[in-house]
């Protein structure tokens, strides 16, 4: 990265290089970025679009509208769309309420242990949702779920009674909300932190109570963040594959993502049908991201600007402890209970044997560690996460640097290009990559490269936003003053810019590395014998209901994630996960 970047300061307009030389550099940068964008986004989406109008080769080939007719004519394929919309709205709303309330509580009140809540939310943010869903089968299965059994025991109810049934749409909404509300929390917290608490203080002085102030002053001010948070959560619910694969297929209900995958793994060649089916998802997702951009881009709120000064926490009074307990519930449900369920199940010999010493075994761990798929997948997962994190960070850092320092002509389009993939759902991207790179002359299918492309594309926007935010806090004045003091461009870059930029770069690396460890929705369509990753092995094991080995594998994946977080904290400090917008 440094080598690329070191050449860039020489391109600052008005510098020594002649006009021709400047022109050359610009062209090279643009050509490289253009090729990258074509490979990552334009070609897969074009191929997706093309395939949707063609009969599969197994049949006869040729242009057709039949794929669209098949995809949207029958009830069976239409219903998953309706279900997905319902999920998106429900999960978005629940996440909005939970995430926003918790953000307000942490940011504005005298709640005890705010850091515990904050760290708990970040922990649920990095927990693989599919693992959470599997753990919740142990917890809230209709007959044998521990919570149901506990309630039956507590009230002496019959075997027939159950309070929870995770294999229902309500179960899916619940499990999804557990892992999407942190998105709302992060966005709203950032919004709240940007509002000076002066106005709230003023309301307090004028006689408004804690809750009155919250509803009539704070809430309207963070409305754009609330909306953005809702959109993010709803979008995530729409494009999640893991949770519906685990919970809604057994319930006899596909969502759009699981239906899409069913097309892709069908015995018949249904690539055309899958491509047509992916279109509404693509359009909706891009529409949602676009709407969010409009709302966030509207800077109509004069009070929102820069960090507020002193902040006096609102007094919760007698509600302090009850609200704290309420805030802990989602965290216990998202991390503590699932972690406990997976850990204990991973040591059980017989699934029907219960939590007793006689039922203790290390067999599940032995099983996963002597399994070809697992061994290959651990290596691939870590390698891919490192590749994706490094690749995305390099591209993001260079483009952010060019954009911020206005290094080349057209620098204002850098941000657009780097964040272009943001509206493309992972599974749709995977169908596109599949269509584009499984046939000659560009066969990447069967190699880690196709998955690398998927990860890079999926996480580039996140890396760019992080790098960009980090860089925008370094004022060019700093660099300029060093120049005045006599340092040359290279020295300035080496001694001022790089050290200041380093934190943002490391943060963006870790922010890509962690979700890459558990990426599922794209991997599930792209994996092959030698390119398995842990998440797809979990899904493959789940399809055989190998609940014990899955639990052991889940514990392993959580451990790897934990190591990554601890390393992150060590390297960049505990703010690194909240720096993403």
Partner 1 sequence: MLKGIIAGLLAVALLSAPAFAADDATMRAAKKEGKITWYSSLTINIAQDICNRYNKKKTGIKCILHRDGSGKLYRRYLQERKGGIYVADVVHTSNLGHFLNLKAKKIITPYKPAGTDNFNEKFVTKDNYWTILRAGVLMPFYNTKKVSEKDAPKTYADFLDPKWKGKIIQSHPSYSGFVTNGMINIVNRFGWGYYEKLAKQKPKIVQSAAGSVPLIARGEALIGTGTTSYTLLKQMQKGEPLKPVIPPAGLALVTSPNSVFTKAPNPNAARVFTDYLFSQETMQLLADYFLYVGNPNVKYPKGLPALKDINLMAIGGDELKKKNKPTRAKFKKLFGV
Among 13, 216, 266, 473, the residue binding partner 1 under the rule CB under 8 A is 266
Neighbouring C-beta atoms of residue 124, cutoff 10 Å: 23
Shortest distance, position 47 Cβ to partner 1, whole Å: 13
Shortest distance, position 325 Cβ to partner 1, whole Å: 30
Among 216, 291, 481, 545, the residue binding partner 1 under the rule CB under 8 A is 545
Among 141, 224, 330, 421, the residue binding partner 1 under the rule CB under 8 A is 141
Q: Is 518 helix (H, G, I), strand (E, B) or coil?
A: coil
Judged by beta carbon, residue 107 or residue 531, the one nearer partner 1 is 531
Shortest distance, position 368 Cβ to partner 1, whole Å: 10
Judged by CB under 8 A, the stretch of 60-68, 345-353, 420-428, 499-507 that binds partner 1 is 345-353
Shortest distance, position 269 Cβ to partner 1, whole Å: 7
Shortest distance, position 236 Cβ to partner 1, whole Å: 22
Judged by beta carbon, residue 428 or residue 536, the one nearer partner 1 is 536
Q: Does 477 bind partner 1 (CB under 8 A)?
A: no
Judged by beta carbon, residue 439 or residue 502, the one nearer partner 1 is 439
What is the DSSP secondary structure assignment for residue 511, as one 8-state letter? Answer: H
The mark string for 371-400 relative to partner 1 (x by CB under 8 A, - otherwise) is xxx---------------------------
The mark string for 433-472 relative to partner 1 (x by CB under 8 A, - otherwise) is -----xxx--x-xx--------------------------
Give the separation between CA 50 and CA 48, rounded to whole angstroms: 5
Give the separation between CA 238 and CA 228, rounded to whole angstroms: 15
- The dihedral over CA atoms of 251, 256, 257, 262, expressed in degrees to the nearest 10, equals 70
Residue whose structure tokens are 């046939």: 439
β-bridge mates for residue 63, sequence order: 54
Cα–Cα–Cα angle for 13, 15, 20, rounded to 5 degrees: 75
Give the separation between CA 562 and CA 126, rounded to whole angstroms: 9
Among 268, 480, 495, 575, the residue binding partner 1 under the rule CB under 8 A is 268
Of residues 179, 245, 192, the one with CA closest to residue 218: 192
Q: Does 367 bind partner 1 (CB under 8 A)?
A: yes
Judged by beta carbon, residue 198 or residue 543, the one nearer partner 1 is 543
Shortest distance, position 79 Cβ to partner 1, whole Å: 8
Q: Does 58 bind partner 1 (CB under 8 A)?
A: yes
Give the separation between CA 66 and CA 64, rounded to whole angstroms: 5
Q: Does 114 bind partner 1 (CB under 8 A)?
A: no
Q: Name residues whose C-beta falls within 8 Å of residue 73's C-beta, 6 or more positions apart in sequence.
A: none
271-297 helix and 43-51 helix, angle to the nearest 10 degrees: 130
Pick out residues in 156-195 that bind partner 1 (CB under 8 A): 159, 167
| Binding footprint of partner 1, residue count (CB under 8 A) | 50
The mark string for 65-104 relative to partner 1 (x by CB under 8 A, - otherwise) is -----------x--x-------------------------
Give the separation between CA 107 and CA 368, rounded to whole angstroms: 43
Shortest distance, position 445 Cβ to partner 1, whole Å: 5
Shortest distance, position 130 Cβ to partner 1, whole Å: 14
Q: Name residues whose C-beta falls within 8 Å of residue 393's C-beta, 6 or more positions apart in sequence.
A: 1, 463, 467, 505, 508, 509, 512
Among 4, 110, 144, 201, the residue binding partner 1 under the rule CB under 8 A is 144
**Using CA of residue 222, residue 223, residue 227, residue 228, what is the dihedral sign?**
negative
Neighbouring C-beta atoms of residue 76, cutoff 10 Å: 9
Give the separation between CA 217 and CA 202, rounded to whole angstroms: 10
The mark string for 505-544 relative to partner 1 (x by CB under 8 A, - otherwise) is -----------------------xxx---------xx-xx
Judged by CB under 8 A, the stretch of 90-98, 243-251, 409-417, 493-501 that binds partner 1 is 243-251
Judged by beta carbon, residue 370 or residue 412, the one nearer partner 1 is 370
Pick out residues in 303-332 that bind partner 1 (CB under 8 A): none
Judged by beta carbon, residue 144 or residue 201, the one nearer partner 1 is 144
Upper half-sphere CA count for residue 176 (Cβ side, 13 Å): 36
Cβ atoms 133, 209 nearer than 8 A: no
Terminal Cα distance for the chain, rounded: 24
Cβ atoms 26, 509 nearer than 8 A: no
Cβ atoms 25, 11 nearer than 8 A: yes
β-bridge mates for residue 195, sequence order: 304
Residues forming contacts to partner 1 in the complex (CB under 8 A) are: 57-58, 76, 79, 137, 141-144, 159, 167, 249-254, 258, 262, 265-269, 350-353, 367, 370-373, 438-440, 443, 445-446, 528-530, 540-541, 543-548
């Amino acid at each position: 990265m440094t080598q690329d970047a070191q050449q860039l300061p020489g391109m600052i307009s008005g510098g020594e290089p002649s006009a021709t030389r400047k022109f050359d550099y610009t062209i090279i940068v643009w050509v490289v970025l253009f090729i990258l964008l074509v490979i990552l986004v334009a070609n897969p989406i074009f191929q997706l679009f093309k395939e949707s109008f063609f009969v599969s080769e197994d049949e006869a080939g040729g242009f057709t509208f039949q794929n669209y007719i098949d995809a949207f004519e029958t009830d069976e394929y239409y219903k998953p769309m309706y279900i997905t919309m319902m999920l998106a709205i429900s999960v978005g709303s629940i996440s909005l309420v939970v995430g926003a309330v918790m953000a307000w509580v942490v940011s504005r009140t005298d709640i005890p242990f705010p850091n515990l809540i904050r760290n708990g939310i970040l922990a649920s943010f990095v927990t693989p949702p599919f693992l959470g869903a599997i753990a919740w089968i142990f917890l809230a299965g209709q007959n044998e779920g521990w919570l149901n059994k506990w309630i039956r025991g507590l009230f002496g109810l019959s075997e027939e009674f159950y309070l929870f049934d995770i294999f229902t749409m309500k179960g899916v909404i619940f499990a999804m909300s557990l892992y999407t509300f942190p998105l709302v929390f992060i966005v709203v917290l950032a919004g709240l932190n940007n509002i000076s608490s002066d106005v709230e203080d003023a309301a307090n002085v004028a006689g408004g109570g804690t809750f009155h102030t919250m509803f009539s002053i704070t809430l309207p001010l963070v409305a754009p963040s609330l909306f953005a948070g809702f959109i993010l959560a709803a979008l995530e619910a729409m494009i999640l594959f893991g949770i519906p694969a685990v919970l809604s297929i057994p319930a006899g209900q596909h969502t759009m993502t699981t239906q899409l995958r069913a097309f892709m793994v069908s015995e018949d060649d249904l690539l055309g049908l899958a491509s047509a089916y992916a279109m509404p998802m693509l359009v909706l997702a891009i529409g949602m991201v676009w709407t969010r951009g409009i709302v966030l881009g509207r800077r109509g709120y004069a009070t929102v600007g820069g960090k507020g000064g002193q902040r006096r926490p609102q007094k919760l009074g007698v509600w302090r402890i009850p609200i704290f307990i309420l805030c802990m519930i989602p965290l216990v449900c998202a991390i503590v209970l699932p972690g406990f369920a997976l850990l204990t199940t991973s040591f059980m010999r017989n699934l029907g044997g219960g939590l007793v010493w006689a039922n203790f075994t290390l067999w599940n761990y032995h099983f996963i560690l002597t399994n070809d798929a697992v061994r290959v997948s651990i290596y691939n997962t870590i390698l891919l996460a490192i590749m994706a994190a490094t690749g995305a960070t390099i591209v993001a850092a260079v483009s952010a640097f060019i954009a911020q320092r206005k290094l080349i002509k057209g620098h204002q389009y850098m941000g657009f290009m780097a964040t272009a993939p943001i509206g493309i759902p992972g599974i749709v991207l995977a169908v596109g990559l599949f269509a584009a790179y499984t046939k000659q002359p560009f066969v990447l299918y069967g190699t880690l490269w196709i998955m690398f492309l998927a990860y890079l594309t999926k996480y580039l926007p996140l890396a760019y936003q992080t790098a960009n935010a980090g860089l925008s806090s370094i004022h060019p004045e700093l660099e300029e003053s060093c120049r005045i003091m006599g340092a040359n461009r290279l020295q300035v870059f080496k001694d001022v810019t790089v050290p200041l930029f380093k934190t943002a770069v490391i943060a963006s690396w870790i922010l890509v590395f962690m979700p890459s460890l558990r990426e599922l929705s794209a991997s599930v369509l792209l994996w092959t014998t030698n390119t398995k990753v842990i998440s797809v092995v979990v899904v493959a094991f789940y399809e055989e209901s190998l609940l014990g080995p899955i639990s052991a594998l889940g514990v392993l994946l959580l451990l790897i994630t934990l190591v990554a977080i601890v390393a992150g904290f060590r390297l960049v400090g505990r703010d690194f996960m909240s720096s993403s917008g």
